Chains A and B, each alone.
Chain A
């Protein structure tokens, strides 16, 4: 038993002295918005009220335990009722609670006020990534975790931002009120960035609102907070908050790139081009369920390699990707992917991993199909 205790003490002191302990917080972050600061203060106020009550209550308790020990010959009193005391210790907590409720109510009202936003961002949760759309700006993209699986498996050393890094961060301006519109394509997720004190469920069929006005430029990280299936731990959120000018420049560039992409729908694509693009789309969107090698993980996620129905019926194959399959985990990608990406991924899946249909689908065909 002694060895166990020594071992335990060793483990504890190790934990206390390691680097990460210094870097990590023990407490809620104050955050970088007025509201997150307000919520932090509310949290600390309630915390200290609880500490004071706890100290008083436990002091009386431990005083009694020490002072009135049977072993020391304490003689028990016989009182067992006092209405006055009961009324007092019902009323005082009630007053303390009212005192807590007043500032909480005020803060809550501010959190719910999503009016007068200068920028609207639609956030869509998908298994297991985030899709961001700048409403009215024709800019949209998907954000995937970029931590390599080899790090997770332990084949490579952990990176600095292990599990909290993405391929494309959400970019937001500081000092502007940004309204988020949250929804989901499949199951419920929750978008949470602690530094903004914004956590909101993204629910299929619902649109939730929340908002943020960031005070300082920087990179802020968060995670999905609602259990959403296998890779719940692996859909982080990274927000890059920029000075307003920088943000405007960034947004203009992205708009230009999006317009160029739209032109690509008109032209005839080479099969090699489609395959190359399709491989990238597959890796970022499809591989999390159907696996990089197309073997899937049945029964939930069918194999694509050698899938007879898919290979024989191109029409059906295309429709499944565009419309999803009702009652299964396969979502509709009509609004997440553009015609080029859809055509590319159909072509890729028909010709990868030994699938040798040789057939391809042109973006213009998909655009027509979507237009119907």
Chain B
């Protein structure tokens, strides 16, 4: 038969290496302990080789048989170590059995397991400490004291304790005794931590109630202290002291319906700040962290709510049970929270038992093997291709999502509670007599160290309150005002979220702009020295991308560059590296973007803040846009459908814009722009048509009767035009049909304008309506006017967007062929004359700026007119784009060289125009000073170089044009 020690080693072999300490103690002292017990004939009085049920009696018996204190310490330490091993072994055996019984409904088993494990551990620890104190205290007079467990109440890497004494007799010696107890705990059991006493009073290990009072009376200080106090439960010691402590110190943090709630408010502001910052923390993909990912946030929110509902229990499950009864409206939320709590607690417990007493687990091969052992113990098994540990980890992330879904509701509810009890509330009453700006800071002093101010900040969204605040602040002399601004910086510098929220409220309000600037400048002066600022900004950006985006939009270029520098610091966590990279990308877009482009991306990020994460990856952005497009069909009303479609347009605009900024080719940019823009017009037409049909309660078929043609830039498949030239043609003279189609187009116009693009209806001026019949066009083009070539050019350049190809064929046959192709000589002559006359006007009258990329000599207008001449000359119906240049060049040898050169120049001019629109502004006049971003993007690295190139290309275009005109003039 195996000896006990071998058996014990085998039975505990699956435990983590940290249990070696206990095994070693048992190996070293057990034989002596048994010998001593046998010698004193007390062997049968102690349950030593089996899990015991009366630790107190066993420990006393052991103490009594020892011959000196050293032996006592070794033997009771050995007993503790042995019982801990046996207790854990037994608990795991039971768990394995219970999860099999429970099948898939394992969460109640987990809860029961954790409650029992906690109780047993606390009992063992309490009696062990009691016996240690008996050894060290002896008969000396010590203060009356109580040792409180203030942290998690199960076996962990440390035991958080708070020791309260009565402040009398020999406190120094008493503290030395606790030090000795602590050192024994480190050797045989679990080390103590004394956060409470470390921060209260003059002694390290214990503090008196008076000392607590002294420290906590005037300010909230450290909400972790309060959290610990609220979870305090007696391990050992005076019940009287504890009751006094509860009454005089702890009770103030609970809600008192008719009393002073300042302390309660302070605690909530502290703990909610903690919860918010934990929720803002990105979840790592490389490791898991039980405490940071989940347990701390669950326990904090439970603790906050327990103070509201006056629940004195300290065990998280007990608190939840009582909350379910007292706060029935949140019953389901508590239920879900309880399940996640049980899951995380047992996962951590068994992991720490089997592997290591760490909160953080790196997800790599070796640890996955260990997680597998944990998963098996928790009842997980391999299912098909999914391994037990993977299954467990999937549940881990699902539970995180669960709590991240639930907690905002509970948080909001507490915010509402705060709004009803806050000492700040009277300040926001219109009849308030004091000075808000000054009084806020005065009152804040008590709350220093807390960081939840959402309720107050939301009050500032009320323009009247904000105005009052600004007036109050501005009522002071400059010196005092400056001091107050400094005070606000003190308030906000350790809570970047609140500060940025405050800044954006100020910055977005016209009246708040000056204070915004003062406060923001102050922040920029000190931001560099705020600890972990890059991480804090990353957290805020992760949780509130929209807020950061709005804040960035309020900052000028030099500030944005400064922020880029601030966040460019080495961080270790991969997930934060990713967030910072996204933020850098966003700042980059802000830096590069013109107001024209910003309008689109601010609008879209406002509505879909989640899409900020996708800005780095246009492909993902496209998938997101496709998702929005698919959603259109699900919208109930036409208004919603149109809004969704608008979102799709904005998002696609942003996506293609980002691609341009990332230097994709003009061809790609234009092709993608045209694709989504046409899709937008086509879908918008469908929605508006259906809307009119729904109003008329009848469906009118327009398939071969109505067609929408794009002309101008959109027809040439050119991106980023801020107007949309449209020709709406009808192959019918029926007034009803004309009226019907007019209504559709009118609705479309309303929507197109919302996108920041102005629809221009080329023939509306002639006919007084948007829709024109083919017959009317024929009549118009038959007019003998010198400038008729303008209308002809519109027709020649038009591109079908909505309508049937049968209609298009009819349009070509009835309009383009007879009026342009069959009269090409006349048309080309008029066009050549127009080019000459434009050039003369530009040169002589200086009506057009030389640096106008569109209308200037050698600009885009020239190239486009040239291409229309070519279209007419060779009877080409395809739109004017780069393909057209290539096609004609391949067929017309004598034009080839010039056309290739012109294509190259066209490409450059279009690219410059696109990039300039996105980075400088939606204008055609190229200002050299505004070219810096464009120069970087287009690889010129100097505004001057790019500008010179622009001028050179324009001159080249002029020469090429002259060559081509000479060859094409006479058909």
The judgment on whether A and B are partners is no
Interface of B with A (CB < 8 Å)? none
Interface of A with B (CB < 8 Å)? none
